[in-house]
């Protein structure tokens, strides 16, 4: 076997695959794809995308800053959709923290002394939760994020 | 007589006492100053204002009895004792507890004075930390300073206090109240006999506090370093204890508790535990090895696993701790965090240090700021190297800025790919009645036939363009002949990409721009949509055709 890592039930790949599979079956169970109206497709696409992000973030749990940020984003989004009031209440503390930290970061432009400010900022926008990280952690998170993205793409769920 | 155990038994018998006592750890966190919260906390607080009174009477009494006796035998000692007049019984009935409960709030409200506050802070701090052990020991530790030495009692209190030492300092830091520390240290000093441990603990706690404060000043404070320092604060008092077994568990728990700091750091720690080597808390532990070999700039990081090794030398470290902190500042090397001194040969990893030792290179500035800067820069460049391996096509690139740009492009492309593929999943209707095993089987076949196939079914490296009509179900029967025509060369090139994806590629460099595969990707798309449905349809795939199809 060339890929023993995939048979490891606790590997990131298998965790993500099982979760994503579950989500996909749930989504497909809701509506058959016979209706090919663009709006339907678009909605399903959104849902699948969210499911992919969610499965990825849940496979990583809170071990990474980006997964935490992603989970928080997903949760606040779902709360907001369900009930605008509850969204305000539940996401308040997190939002306050994130806002505060992001405000601090935007006002105090992160001059890390190494001169990669613009690129670092761009990278921060790409990686979820990157606004709150210094360059050192940002590179860490980027590496793990890349690894997880490639796992997603190479998962056997027809994505790769 | 073992007061501690007897206390437990005593308290176990009285339900009300238990209720009241166990309320304390839960409620002390609220810092409420009224109501039932005061009952147990107040009980523990009273002794602080009457050290002599309690000290004299406690030696031969149970804990509650000691409180009771002190309270009721010395009613005139302070205004806090005002309530004593109400109930004179010598604490054996449960009604006492209730009366105490009633009386305390009144007395406490009326008599809020400074030592009381100090004691309150200390008590709550102790109680907070004492959640781990039953509340009896929390109160015991609270009365640590006042109670005379009793061997078994001291053992118990020592264990608690030593475990709590680190927590206490953390809590003190968070409270920002230095007085309880003084109280604690003083109280510690009052103990006799095995007081060496306590004194050392006090010193250690003090040094921990100082070093923690200095840690805040430092520019370098990575996550893992911070975690390790806290671990150190918790585990270092443990080292001073000569009881290894009872402390192994808290040590383990502390280790496990901080295991959540990250996968890599976990693995790094475990590997270092086995090998007994230093490791940096970075993505790979290999970065620590060159430094351990004694380069001019040495970085050493104390790992928690060294605690076991240090246990044998535990006595020395404690004394060294206090000495080293003033010394180190005089040296050229800069202690970024707290240190416990350097022992052992530099050739092997220095076992004692708890945070990064950086020695200024020859001819370089020894300013602490520049040293910190240099450390950060080295960390960053180390991570950039790691990223270079991850991102295909970065090996040729020189310069950090360009590499960062490449990384950004790569991440963007990956994200777009994920989006595109999820859109593909939304439109195409593959049969989702497969199980994970089928998927695994497919994956295995894929990988097995990967190198040998000429047709490359590789995921798109970049999908810059929106998908071209993936919504048509006709794509499911995408014409296989399409593959044969124009894609052979492309697939061959891209299959090599697939197999060497994670290893760092050279192939894409042949293209002027690695991301110019979009045109090829168009064909890939068609191919890709067909492949999953084909493969998923058949659980037991026909090997030959499937390998072709999938690859």
- Closest partner residue to A24 among B425, B448, B502, by Cβ? B425
Within B429-510, where are the H helices? 436-449, 481-499
Q: Output the pLDDT for position B161.
A: 57
Which residues from chain A sit within 8 angstroms of residue B473, using beta carbons? Answer: 36
A26 touches chain B (CB under 8 A): no
Helix axes B3-13, B15-27, angle to 10 degrees: 110
- Domain map (residue ranges) of chain A: 12-80, 118-154
A83 token code pair: 């009930």
Write the residue in A123, A140, A149 that is nearest to B407 by C-beta: A123
The whole-number pLDDT of residue A25 equals: 83
Which pair of tokens denotes residue B229? 């320092």
- Strand B334-335 to B357-358 pairing: antiparallel
Q: b/e string for A53-72 if b means 16 or more Cβ within 10 A? A: bbbbbbbbeebbbbbbbbbb
DSSP notation for B38-50: HHHHHHHHHHHH-
From chain B, pick out residues whose CB is under 8 angstroms from the CB of A19.
none
What residues of chain B lie within 8 A of the CB of A150, using their CB? Answer: 414, 501-502
Paired with B334 in beta bridges are: B358
Entry pTM? 0.41
pLDDT value at residue B494: 45
Is B422 in Cβ contact with A48 (below 8 Å)? yes
Least Cα separation, residue A34 to chain B (angstroms): 9
pLDDT at A13: 83
Residue A137 touches chain B, beta carbons under 8 Å? yes
Residues composing chain B? 551
β-sheet bridge partners, residue B335: B357
ipTM for the complex shown = 0.83
Tens place of pLDDT per residue across chain B (551 aa): 454 444 444 444 444 444 444 444 444 444 444 444 444 444 444 444 444 444 444 444 444 444 444 444 444 444 444 443 444 444 444 444 444 444 444 444 444 444 444 444 444 444 444 444 444 444 444 444 454 555 665 566 556 555 544 444 444 444 444 444 444 444 444 444 444 444 444 444 444 444 444 444 444 444 444 444 444 444 444 444 444 444 444 444 444 444 434 444 444 333 434 444 444 344 443 433 444 444 444 444 444 444 444 444 444 444 444 444 444 444 444 444 433 444 444 445 555 556 767 777 787 777 888 888 888 888 888 888 888 888 888 777 777 788 888 889 999 999 998 888 888 877 776 555 555 556 666 666 766 665 554 444 444 444 444 444 444 444 444 444 443 444 454 444 444 444 444 444 344 344 444 444 544 554 454 444 444 444 444 444 444 444 444 44
Q: Is B407 in Cβ contact with A52 (below 8 Å)? A: no
* Token output for B474: 């006709």
Please write down the HEC assignment for all residues of B330-386.
HCCCEECCCCCCCCCCCCCCCCCCCCCEECCCCCCCCCHHHHHHHHHHHHHHHHHHH
Q: Please report the DSSP string for A96-148 in residue order.
A: HHHHHHHHHHHHS----SSS-HHHHHHHHHHSTTGGG--HHHHHHHHHHHHHH
Sketch out chain B's domains with CATH numbers. 370-428 (4.10.280)
Other Cβ atoms within 10 Å of A43 Cβ, number: 14
Tens of pLDDT along A58-97?
888 888 888 888 888 888 888 887 766 654 554 445 555 5
- What whole-number distance in Å separates Cα of residue B208 and Cα of residue B169? 7
**Joined tokens for residue A140:** 């860490």
Nearest CA distance, A84 vs chain B (angstrom):
27
| pLDDT tens per residue, range A109-157 | 556 566 778 888 888 888 888 888 888 888 888 899 998 888 888 887 7
In angstroms, what separates the C-alpha of B29 from chain A's closest C-alpha?
A: 19
């Amino acid at each position: 076997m060339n890929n023993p890592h995939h048979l490891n039930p606790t590997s990131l790949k298998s965790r993500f695959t099982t979760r994503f599979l579950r989500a996909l079956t749930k989504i497909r169970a809701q509506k058959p794809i016979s209706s090919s109206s663009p709006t339907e497709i678009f909605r399903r696409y959104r849902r699948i995308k969210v499911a992919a992000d969610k499965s990825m973030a849940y496979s990583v749990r809170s071990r990474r800053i980006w997964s935490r940020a992603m989970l928080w984003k997903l949760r606040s989004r779902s709360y907001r959709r369900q009930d605008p009031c509850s969204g305000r209440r539940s996401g308040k503390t997190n939002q306050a923290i994130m806002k505060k930290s992001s405000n601090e970061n935007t006002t105090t432009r992160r001059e890390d002394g190494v001169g990669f400010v613009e690129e670092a900022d761009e990278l921060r926008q790409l990686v979820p939760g990157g606004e709150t990280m210094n360059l050192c952690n940002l590179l860490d998170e980027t590496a793990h994020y890349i690894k997880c993205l490639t796992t997603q793409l190479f998962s056997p769920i027809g994505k790769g | 007589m073992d007061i501690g155990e007897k206390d437990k038994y005593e308290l176990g018998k009285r339900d009300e006492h238990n209720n009241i006592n166990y309320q304390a750890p839960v409620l002390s966190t609220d810092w409420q100053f009224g109501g039932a919260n005061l009952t147990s906390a107040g009980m523990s607080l009273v002794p602080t204002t009457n050290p002599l009174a309690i000290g004299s009477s406690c030696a031969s009494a149970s804990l509650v009895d000691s409180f009771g006796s002190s309270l009721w035998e010395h009613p005139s000692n302070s205004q806090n004792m005002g309530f004593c007049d109400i109930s004179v019984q010598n604490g054996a009935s449960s009604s006492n507890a209730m009366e105490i409960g009633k009386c305390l709030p009144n007395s406490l409200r009326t008599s809020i004075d400074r030592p009381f506050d100090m004691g309150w802070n200390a008590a709550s701090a102790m109680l907070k930390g004492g959640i781990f052990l039953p509340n009896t020991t929390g109160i015991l530790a609270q009365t640590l300073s006042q109670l005379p030495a009793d061997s078994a009692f001291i053992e118990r209190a020592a264990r608690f206090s030593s475990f709590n030492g680190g927590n206490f300092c953390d809590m003190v830091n968070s409270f920002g109240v230095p007085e309880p520390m003084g109280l604690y240290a003083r109280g510690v000093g009052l103990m006799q006999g095995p007081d060496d441990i306590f004194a050392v603990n006090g010193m250690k706690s003090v040094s921990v506090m100082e070093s923690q404060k200095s840690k805040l000043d430092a520019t370098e404070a990575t996550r893992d370093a911070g975690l390790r320092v806290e671990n150190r604060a918790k585990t270092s008092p443990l080292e001073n204890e000569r009881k290894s077994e009872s402390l192994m568990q808290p040590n383990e728990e502390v280790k496990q508790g901080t295991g959540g700091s990250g996968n890599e750091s976990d693995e790094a720690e475990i590997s270092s535990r086995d090998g007994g080597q230093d490791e940096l808390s970075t993505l790979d532990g290999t970065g620590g090895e060159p430094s351990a070999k004694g380069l001019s700039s040495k970085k050493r990081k104390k790992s928690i696993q060294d605690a076991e090794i240090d246990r044998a030398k535990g006595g020395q470290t404690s004394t060294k701790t206090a000495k080293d902190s003033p010394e180190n500042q005089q040296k050229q090397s800069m202690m970024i965090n707290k240190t416990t001194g350097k022992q052992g040969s530099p050739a092997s990893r220095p076992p004692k240090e708890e945070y990064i030792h950086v020695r200024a290179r020859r001819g370089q500035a020894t300013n602490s700021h520049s040293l910190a800067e240099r450390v950060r820069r080295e960390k960053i460049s180390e991570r950039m190297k790691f990223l270079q391996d991850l991102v295909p096509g970065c090996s040729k690139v020189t310069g950090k800025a360009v590499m960062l740009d490449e990384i950004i492009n790569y991440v963007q492309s990956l994200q777009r790919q994920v989006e595109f593929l999820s859109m593909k999943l939304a439109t195409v209707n593959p049969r989702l009645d497969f199980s994970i095993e089928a998927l695994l089987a497919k994956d295995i076949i894929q990988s097995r036939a990967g190198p040998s196939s000429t047709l490359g079914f590789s995921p798109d490296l970049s999908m810059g363009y929106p998908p071209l009509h993936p919504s048509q179900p006709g794509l499911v029967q995408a014409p296989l002949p399409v593959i044969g025509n124009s894609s052979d060369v492309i697939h061959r090139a891209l299959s090599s990409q697939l197999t060497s994806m994670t290893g760092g590629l050279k192939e894409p460099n042949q293209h002027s721009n690695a991301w110019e595969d979009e045109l090829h990707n168009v064909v890939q798309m068609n191919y890709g949509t067909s492949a999953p449905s084909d493969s998923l349809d058949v659980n037991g795939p026909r090997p030959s055709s499937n390998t072709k199809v999938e690859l």
